[in-house]
């Protein structure tokens, strides 16, 4: 797998985060290369103020930091770590690294964007970019050509301004917008809806997983969350909007509940949802993290997990595996991991490998999902 990004007369060594020994995927894509080549041809004044949105692992941040003042904003804790590590590895100049819930920088000359998968997040970012900057500040975005639909370009037109596109290069296309849309009013960042059967209201910031309706897996596992005084310390791993944490706290009011996700917007939404549902936050924590990196071993009684099977654009099961390994590490003896997954994902085998076959039991199943419990 290639780790050297060499363009023009410069080279950077770039790794994804976390760094895997058998990594199959590169830390940048042809879209990053297209954007870099294009911007280099513009002959920007040195020290231009560039805002980079959604840089995956720092290819853009590393490259542009050499001659410009870079601010990078992403929603991903994993991207943050990847960007920091790659900047350090390549001895790059400092940049300003922001999360998606930070305030936006004031004076920017150029915005570069890796177009996010999620249209609600794209819409919100375009609205923020337009509101904060004006026609003097071009926006150049990139994605795979097949992901740029006419509906995508309509969002750019509506929320950013006049929009054109480039020819495709290595299956990617650039999108150029002038920030001159007259739609300046702010979009409400929260999408809020009720889960009637649970008497809960869920607010979802734009990049939260399943932010427009309850995930089907979550709906199923909600009916199987346990209540017991022996659960003193509980983790909701990959908490999204926090729906499982909320119910766990209701069922186990004395327990400490820790909601963990790699999306800053998920963490902010989970905390917001404790507030709007008037749940006691005294023993609760909301932590942006990669799985349970750095968590103390033997410190928890229950870990509940509805794992992801995507990391950015890539379909992968290494995150679920990492989550299960980390859960085992943090559980006390006799502690339990409760997992929901699609039937076809084979989590039963993974858990049996890790915990032992007779320590894994089927809690419930339906046509689509299984809920499994593994005891340490």
> By the 8 A CB rule, do 166 and 178 touch?
no
By CB under 6 A, name the one of 192, 210, 285, 299 that touches ligand SAM: 210
Restricting to residues 277-336, name those near ligand SAM by CB under 6 A.
Answer: 290-291, 306, 308, 319
Q: Do the strands 200-204 and 172-177 form a parallel or antiparallel pair, or are they unpaired? A: unpaired
Q: Identify which of residues 39 and 243 has a Cβ nearer to ligand SAM in the complex.
A: 243
Q: Identify which of residues 50 and 225 has a Cβ nearer to ligand SAM in the complex.
A: 225
Triad 190, 195, 198: Cα angle to 5°: 135
Binding mask 217-236 for ligand SAM (x = CB under 6 A): xx------------------
DSSP per-residue codes, 247-314: HHHHH-TTSEEEEEESBHHHHHHHHHHHHHTT---TTEEEEE-STTTTPPTT-EEEEEE----EETTE
Residue found by looking up tokens 């017991």 in the block: 228
Q: Identify which of residues 31 and 240 has a Cβ nearer to ligand SAM in the complex.
A: 240
Restricting to residues 155-184, name those near ligand SAM by CB under 6 A.
Answer: none
* Helix intervals (H) in the chain: 30-41, 59-65, 77-89, 119-132, 150-155, 216-222, 243-251, 264-276, 318-330, 347-355
Distance CA 239, CA 262 (A): 9
The token pair at 29 is: 């894509």
Please, what is the minimum distance in Å from the beta carbon of residue 51 to ligand SAM? 23
Neighbour count for residue 343 (Cβ, 10 Å): 13
Stretch that binds ligand SAM, among 24-32, 42-50, 113-121, 237-245 (CB under 6 A): 237-245
Question: Contacts from 352-356 at CB under 8 Å and sequence distance 24+?
Answer: 354/324, 354/325, 354/328, 355/328
Stretch that binds ligand SAM, among 33-41, 138-146, 214-222, 279-287 (CB under 6 A): 214-222
By CB under 6 A, name the one of 142, 239, 302, 303 that touches ligand SAM: 239
Q: Identify which of residues 139 and 235 has a Cβ nearer to ligand SAM in the complex.
A: 235
Please, what is the minimum distance in Å from the beta carbon of residue 1 to ligand SAM? 20
Please, what is the minimum distance in Å from the beta carbon of residue 343 to ligand SAM? 15
Please, what is the minimum distance in Å from the beta carbon of residue 319 to ligand SAM? 5
Question: Contacts with ligand SAM: how many residues (CB under 6 A)?
Answer: 21
Distance CA 342, CA 215 (A): 12
Residue 6: which residues within 8 A CB-CB, separation 6 or more?
none
> By the 8 A CB rule, do 115 and 152 touch?
yes
> By the 8 A CB rule, do 303 and 327 touch?
yes
Stretch that binds ligand SAM, among 53-61, 84-92, 256-264, 352-360 (CB under 6 A): 256-264
By CB under 6 A, name the one of 29, 32, 233, 262 that touches ligand SAM: 262
Q: Identify which of residues 239 and 268 has a Cβ nearer to ligand SAM in the complex.
A: 239
Q: Identify which of residues 55 and 262 has a Cβ nearer to ligand SAM in the complex.
A: 262
Please, what is the minimum distance in Å from the beta carbon of residue 322 to ligand SAM? 7
Chain residues binding ligand SAM by CB under 6 A are: 78, 209-210, 215, 217-218, 238-240, 243-244, 260-263, 266, 290-291, 306, 308, 319
């Amino acid at each position: 797998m290639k780790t050297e990004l060499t363009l023009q007369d410069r080279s950077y060594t770039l790794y994804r985060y976390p760094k895997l020994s058998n990594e199959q995927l590169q830390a940048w894509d042809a879209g990053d290369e297209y954007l870099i080549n294009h911007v280099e041809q513009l002959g920007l004044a040195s020290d231009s103020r560039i805002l980079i949105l959604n840089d995956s692992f720092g290819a853009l941040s590393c490259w542009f930091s050499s001659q410009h003042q870079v601010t990078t904003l992403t929603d991903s804790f994993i991207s943050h770590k990847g960007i920091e590590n790659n900047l350090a590895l390549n001895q790059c100049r400092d940049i300003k690294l922001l999360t998606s819930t930070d305030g936006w920088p004031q004076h920017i000359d150029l915005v570069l964007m890796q177009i996010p998968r999620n249209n609600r997040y794209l819409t919100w970012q375009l609205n923020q970019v337009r509101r904060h900057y004006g026609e003097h500040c071009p926006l150049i975005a990139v994605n795979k050509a097949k992901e740029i639909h006419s509906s995508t370009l309509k969002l750019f037109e509506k929320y950013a301004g006049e929009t054109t596109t480039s020819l495709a290069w290595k299956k990617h296309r650039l999108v150029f917008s002038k920030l001159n849309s007259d739609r300046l009013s702010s979009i409400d960042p929260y999408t809020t809806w009720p889960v009637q059967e649970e008497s809960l209201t869920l607010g979802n910031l734009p990049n939260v997983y399943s932010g427009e309706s309850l995930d089907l897996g979550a709906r199923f596992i909600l009916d199987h969350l346990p209540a017991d005084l022996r659960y003193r310390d509980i983790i909701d791993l990959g908490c999204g909007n926090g729906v499982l944490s909320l119910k766990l706290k209701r069922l186990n009011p004395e327990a400490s509940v820790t909601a963990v996700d790699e999306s800053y917007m998920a963490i902010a939404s989970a905390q917001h949802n404790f507030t709007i549902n008037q749940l006691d936050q005294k023993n609760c924590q909301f932590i942006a993290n990669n799985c349970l990196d750095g968590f103390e071993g033997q410190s928890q009684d229950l870990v509940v997990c509805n794992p992801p099977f995507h990391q950015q654009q890539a379909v992968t099961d290494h995150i679920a595996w990492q989550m299960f390994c980390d859960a085992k590490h943090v559980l006390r003896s006799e502690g339990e991991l409760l997992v929901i997954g699609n039937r076809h994902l084979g989590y039963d085998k993974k858990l049996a490998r890790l915990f032992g076959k007779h320590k894994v039991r089927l809690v419930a199943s339906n046509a689509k999902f299984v809920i499994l419990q593994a005891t340490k």
